[in-house]
């Protein structure tokens, strides 16, 4: 037996209709003619391997294909309760083709199930028709409608209709047998109380508003085949070739609403060169996509807590989030239909294997299933998904073009292991990410907070896609800093939601985001500073009001607590650095209370860049704000390498009098006492302040037994502030000793 491989260019991963079309073709071939058929994705198209050649494949669909009975008597739009709105149903009910036998049997079962319901519907219509008598004016109509007897009869008829309709779905689930039961299982799930839950893929039980999917399916079947003569229509063959190979053909069937599956053909405003357009589609496309949805059988699950209501959980279906795609908006944060990530696989697979994959379809993040896009991307980046999948096509069920629900393609996500993904677990501490997500969905959440949260999730998703790019990891840090800043600004909301600062971060963040730039390495050295060598009095409290643990906000009845130590507000980086330096100066004793972390002190070349004005402090300070959360006990690594650089002598002069510890040179310990007035003068700026501060520094060094080689202090107006800014960054003992040897005569005193 020869094997034929069909390159179906008409079946693409997006839009959703073309993806489902591929699954429908594989399913029909495998279940009705060739069980050994296999399918896979390659080069943006679906490939089908089967014993059927091209002519045999086309003959199968045109003359042998047996449509799956898809009927929805519970939907009024399907035509069972009020049949006049679905002529195709009547044609199929009366068809003579033998391959429609299962379909006719299913229709008969549905007719039997809705006998009483149809009678109740007719009773309502008869009562309402009493107000539609020809010649009856408005006053007469109002008189009938306001009549208590009329109201009572109508209410009783509607109550009976509602009772019968509520029992229809459970009755059908118990009585039905055959492929139409498979369709029902795909369209809904019944809980223990008989209440129906609907997966987003098929709207609300096989319909979207007034658009019933089964009605369009029947109309498509009737457009393709004369089911009395069992002969294809005149255009069926050309439409089939277009559906399979995307070849040009005659105009597709108009007035065929494709709804959410094919947004580009849904019709409506801006869909043509005029003001409005009708829906149009290839009938084969609609038939195949509907046959393909039967691969997705949902189940009941709880997505969040054990107290949460049960919901229909379809394969790879998750809650929606306005993150990670360009058209995101806040209004879509609570999209009831969510998202679905459709798997793409490259190994030839049978439909049975595909059903197994989709039946177990979930993304695992640690011990829990991913329920949000950001969690799903994290799982994909760690290969926490079923094997054999090389990518996911992301679809969001969103309202577009008015209130139309459309399956909008939201991007492609490759399944590749990405480095450093384990450090994202730090953000799960204290349930931090989940708390943020819940707070961002609160209707009282400030817009700035919601935007910051959306940017954070987008940045996390970016590193899950391209984890080797250090700039993207820095993007996560910047997004963390921004949302923490918004927490402080929205202090009442933050306290009410019991939000926490950024949780402790491991040292892996340093290696993941370190691009070797002065901005990043200075941010790390700044963030790791404390008040003493034991790591007490971390500088983070100058940005955030923290409680005694350091892991939560200090709050009172009005919101976050007002703390006099909170002097850095994120408005201007230079202002924050000077405020930090001056606040620490007031809290210092004999030495400046800004102690750097060994091996993570500022590199001399980076300090020289600050003095020359070549460092972008607008990047350094936000990075430092996020890195303030670094856990000093869990840094790992070997720290930063020191790069030799010639620092200006004037910097050495002021640095030696603002050290956080006694100066050590050639085995000698020389205490140089700190004077806060020097910092105050430098921070004020100007050449005169620089001169005065310099004279104070010279006297302080001489009092310590050191003789500066600098005899005259001078500089432009900006030099004073740049020196003050540089003093906020820590230096190592080695750098301090080198400065002492270069700017004082200690070398001659200490042979």
Per-residue pLDDT of 439-476, as tens digits, reads 999 999 999 999 999 999 999 999 999 999 999 999 99
- Give the number of domains in the chain: 3
Residue 639 has pLDDT above 50, yes or no: yes
Placement of tokens 């987008």 in the chain: 458
Q: Is 216 within a domain?
A: yes
Please give the span between the terminal C-alpha atoms of the chain, in angstroms, as a whole number: 95
CB under 8 Å to 374, separation ≥6 — which residues?
Answer: 321, 323, 324, 433, 457, 460, 461
For residue 746, what pLDDT is reported? Answer: 61
131 or 386, which is more confident?
131
Element (H, E) at 343: strand 339-345
Per-residue pLDDT of 322-336, as tens digits, reads 777 766 666 665 667
Q: Is 390 within a domain?
A: no
Residue 749 has pLDDT above 50, yes or no: no
Residue 277 has pLDDT above 90, yes or no: no
Per-residue pLDDT of 593-633, as tens digits, reads 999 999 999 999 999 999 999 999 999 999 999 999 999 99
Q: Among 46-50, 79-83, 170-174, 450-454, where is mean pLDDT lowest?
A: 79-83
Assess whether 441 and 559 both reside in one domain. Answer: no
Cis peptide, bond prior to residue 238, ω within 30 of zero:
no
Assess whether 121 and 90 both reside in one domain. Answer: yes
Average pLDDT for 698-727? 91
Instruction: Give the dihedral sign, CA 168/174/177/179.
Output: positive
Per-residue pLDDT of 241-260, as tens digits, reads 999 998 887 656 556 777 78
Exposed/middle/buried for residue 446 (C-beta within 10 Å: 0-12, 13-18, 19+)? middle
Confidence of residue 276 (pLDDT cuts 50, 70, 90): low
For residue 55, what pLDDT is reported? Answer: 97
Assess whether 485 and 534 both reside in one domain. Answer: no
For residue 82, what pLDDT is reported? Answer: 66
For residue 364, what pLDDT is reported? Answer: 80
Q: How far apart are CA 277 and CA 267, in angstroms?
A: 5
Assess whether 457 and 520 both reside in one domain. Answer: no
For residue 194, what pLDDT is reported? Answer: 75
Assess whether 174 and 277 both reside in one domain. Answer: yes
Q: Do residues 550 and 544 lie in contact, with contact meaning Cβ atoms separated by under 8 Å?
A: no
Average pLDDT for 18-26? 98
Per-residue pLDDT of 96-110, as tens digits, reads 999 999 999 999 999
Q: What is the largest CA-CA distance in the chain?
A: 121
Q: How far apart are CA 728 and CA 748, in angstroms?
A: 31
Assess whether 466 and 534 both reside in one domain. Answer: no
Q: Is 385 within a domain?
A: no
Q: Is 398 within a domain?
A: no
Average pLDDT for 362-371? 80
Q: How far apart are CA 366 and CA 206, in angstroms?
A: 34
Residue 310 has pLDDT above 50, yes or no: no
CB under 8 Å to 361, separation ≥6 — which residues?
Answer: 314, 315, 316, 343, 386
Q: Is 475 within a domain?
A: yes
Last residue of a domain, one of 294, 326, 354: 294
Integer CA distances (angstroms), 639 to 531, 598, 635, in order = 20, 8, 9
For residue 313, what pLDDT is reported? Answer: 67
Last residue of a domain, one of 259, 294, 329: 294
Q: How far apart are CA 141 and CA 129, in angstroms?
A: 10
For residue 403, what pLDDT is reported? Answer: 64
Assess whether 551 and 621 both reside in one domain. Answer: yes
Report which of 608, 534, 526 is spatially closest to residue 568, judged by C-alpha positions: 526
Q: Do residues 277 and 271 lie in contact, with contact meaning Cβ atoms separated by under 8 Å?
A: yes
Assess whether 93 and 215 both reside in one domain. Answer: yes
467 or 81, which is more confident?
467
Q: How far apart are CA 731 and CA 595, in angstroms?
A: 9
| Predicted structure pTM score | 0.87
**705-719 core/surface letters (b: 16 or more CB in 10 A; e: else):** ebebebeebebeeeb
Confidence of residue 305 (pLDDT cuts 50, 70, 90): very low
Per-residue pLDDT of 373-391, as tens digits, reads 999 999 999 887 867 899 9
Residue 721 has pLDDT above 70, yes or no: yes
Whole-number average pLDDT of the chain: 90
For residue 594, what pLDDT is reported? Answer: 96
For residue 16, what pLDDT is reported? Answer: 96
Residue 48 has pLDDT above 60, yes or no: yes
For residue 103, what pLDDT is reported? Answer: 97
Per-residue pLDDT of 492-513, as tens digits, reads 999 999 999 999 999 999 999 9
CB under 8 Å to 80, separation ≥6 — which residues?
Answer: 71, 73, 89, 110, 111, 114, 118
Confidence of residue 404 (pLDDT cuts 50, 70, 90): confident
Q: Partners of 345 in the beta sheet?
A: 389
Assess whether 563 and 458 both reside in one domain. Answer: no
360 or 702, which is more confident?
702
Confidence of residue 670 (pLDDT cuts 50, 70, 90): very high
For residue 385, what pLDDT is reported? Answer: 81
Placement of tokens 């679906």 in the chain: 46
Assess whether 493 and 523 both reside in one domain. Answer: no
Average pLDDT for 432-440? 95
Confidence of residue 401 (pLDDT cuts 50, 70, 90): low
Element (H, E) at 40: strand 38-42
Domain that holds residue 118: 76-294
Q: Do residues 379 and 364 lie in contact, with contact meaning Cβ atoms separated by under 8 Å?
A: yes
Confidence of residue 117 (pLDDT cuts 50, 70, 90): confident
Last residue of a domain, one of 236, 260, 294: 294
For residue 359, what pLDDT is reported? Answer: 85
Residue 304 has pLDDT above 50, yes or no: no
For residue 289, what pLDDT is reported? Answer: 97
Q: Do residues 5 and 21 lie in contact, with contact meaning Cβ atoms separated by under 8 Å?
A: no
Q: Count, in order, helices (H) and strands (E) of the chain.
A: 28, 25
Confidence of residue 306 (pLDDT cuts 50, 70, 90): very low
Residue 278 has pLDDT above 80, yes or no: no
638 phi and psi angles, rounded to 5 deg:
-120, 5
Residue 643 has pLDDT above 50, yes or no: yes
For residue 402, what pLDDT is reported? Answer: 62
Q: Is 553 within a domain?
A: yes
Please count the other Cβ atoms lying within 10 Å of the Cβ belonging to residue 13.
21
Q: Is 325 within a domain?
A: no
The 3-state DSSP class for residue 573 equals: helix
Assess whether 160 and 247 both reside in one domain. Answer: yes
Per-residue pLDDT of 179-197, as tens digits, reads 999 999 999 998 877 788 8
Q: Is 329 within a domain?
A: no
Written as six digits, the tokens of 600 are 């993570």
Assess whether 526 and 470 both reside in one domain. Answer: no
């Amino acid at each position: 037996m020869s094997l034929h491989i069909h390159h179906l260019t008409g079946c693409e991963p997006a839009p959703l209709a073309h993806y489902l079309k591929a699954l429908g073709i594989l399913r029909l071939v495998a279940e009705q003619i060739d069980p050994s058929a296999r399918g896979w994705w390659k080069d943006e198209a679906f490939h089908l391997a089967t014993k059927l050649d091209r002519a045999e494949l086309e003959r199968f669909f045109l003359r042998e294909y047996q449509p799956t009975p898809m009927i929805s008597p519970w939907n009024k739009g399907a035509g069972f309760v009020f049949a006049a709105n679905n002529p195709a149903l009547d044609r199929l009910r009366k068809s003579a083709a033998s391959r429609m036998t299962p379909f006719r049997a299913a229709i008969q079962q549905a007719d039997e199930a809705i006998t009483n319901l149809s009678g109740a519907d007719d009773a309502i219509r008869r009562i309402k028709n009493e107000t539609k008598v020809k010649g009856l004016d408005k006053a007469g109509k109002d008189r009938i409608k306001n009549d208590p007897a009329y109201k009572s009869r109508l209410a009783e008829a509607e109550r009976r209709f509602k009772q019968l309709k509520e029992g229809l779905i459970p009755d059908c689930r118990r009585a039905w047998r055959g492929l139409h039961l498979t369709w029902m299982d795909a369209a809904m799930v019944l809980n223990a109380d008989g209440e129906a839950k609907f997966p987003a893929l098929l709207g609300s039980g096989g319909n979207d508003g007034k658009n019933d999917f089964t009605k369009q399916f029947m109309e498509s079947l009737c457009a393709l085949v004369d089911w009395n003569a069992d002969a294809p229509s005149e255009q069926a063959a050309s439409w089939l070739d277009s559906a399979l190979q995307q070849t040009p053909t005659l105009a597709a069937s108009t007035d065929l609403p494709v709804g959410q599956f094919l947004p580009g053909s849904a019709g409506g405003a801006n869909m043509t060169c005029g003001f409005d357009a009708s829906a149009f589609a290839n009938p084969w496309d609609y038939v195949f996509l509907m046959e393909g949805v039967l691969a997705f059988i949902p189940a009941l699950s709880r997505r969040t807590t054990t107290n949460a209501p049960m919901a229909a959980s379809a394969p790879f279906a998750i809650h929606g989030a306005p993150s990670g795609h360009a058209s995101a908006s806040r209004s879509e944060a609570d999209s009831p239909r969510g998202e679905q990530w459709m798997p793409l696989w490259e190994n030839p697979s049978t439909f049975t294997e595909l059903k197994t994959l989709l039946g177990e379809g979930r993304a695992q993040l640690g011990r829990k299933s991913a329920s949000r896009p950001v969690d799903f991307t994290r799982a994909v980046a760690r290969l926490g998904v079923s094997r054999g999948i090389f990518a996911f096509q992301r679809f969001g069920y969103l309202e577009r073009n008015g209130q139309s629900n459309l399956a909008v393609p939201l991007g492609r996500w490759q399944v590749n292991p990405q480095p450093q993904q384990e450090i994202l677990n730090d953000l799960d501490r204290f349930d931090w990410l989940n708390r943020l997500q819940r707070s961002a969905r609160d209707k009282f959440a400030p817009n700035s907070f919601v935007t910051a949260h959306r940017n954070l999730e987008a940045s996390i998703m970016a590193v899950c896609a391209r984890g080797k790019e250090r700039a993207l990891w820095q993007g996560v840090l910047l997004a963390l800093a921004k949302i923490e800043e918004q927490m402080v600004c929205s202090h009442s909301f933050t306290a009410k939601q019991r939000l926490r600062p950024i949780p402790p971060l491991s040292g892996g963040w340093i290696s993941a985001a370190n691009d070797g730039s002065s901005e990043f390495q200075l941010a790390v050295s700044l963030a790791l500073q404390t008040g003493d060598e034991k790591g007490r009095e971390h500088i983070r409290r100058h940005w955030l009001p923290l409680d005694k643990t350091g892991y939560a906000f200090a709050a009172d009845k009005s919101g976050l607590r007002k703390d006099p130590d909170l002097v850095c507000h994120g408005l201007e980086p230079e202002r924050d650095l000077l405020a930090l330096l001056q606040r620490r100066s007031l809290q210092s004793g004999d030495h400046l209370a800004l102690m750097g972390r060994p091996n993570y002190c500022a590199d001399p070349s980076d300090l020289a860049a600050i003095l020359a004005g070549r460092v972008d402090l607008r990047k350094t300070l936000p990075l430092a704000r996020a890195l303030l959360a670094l856990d000093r006990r869990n840094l790992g690594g070997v720290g930063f390498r020191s790069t030799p650089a010639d620092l200006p002598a004037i910097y050495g002069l002021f640095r030696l009098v603002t050290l956080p510890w006694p100066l050590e040179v050639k085995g000698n310990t020389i205490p140089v006492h700190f004077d806060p007035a020097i910092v105050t003068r430098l921070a004020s700026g100007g050449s005169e302040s620089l001169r005065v501060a310099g004279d104070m520094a010279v006297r302080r060094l001489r009092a310590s037994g050191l003789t500066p080689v600098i005899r005259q202090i001078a500089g432009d107006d900006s030099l004073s502030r740049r020196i003050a800014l540089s003093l906020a960054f820590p230096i190592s003992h080695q750098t301090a000793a080198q400065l002492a040897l270069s700017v004082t005569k200690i070398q001659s005193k200490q042979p």
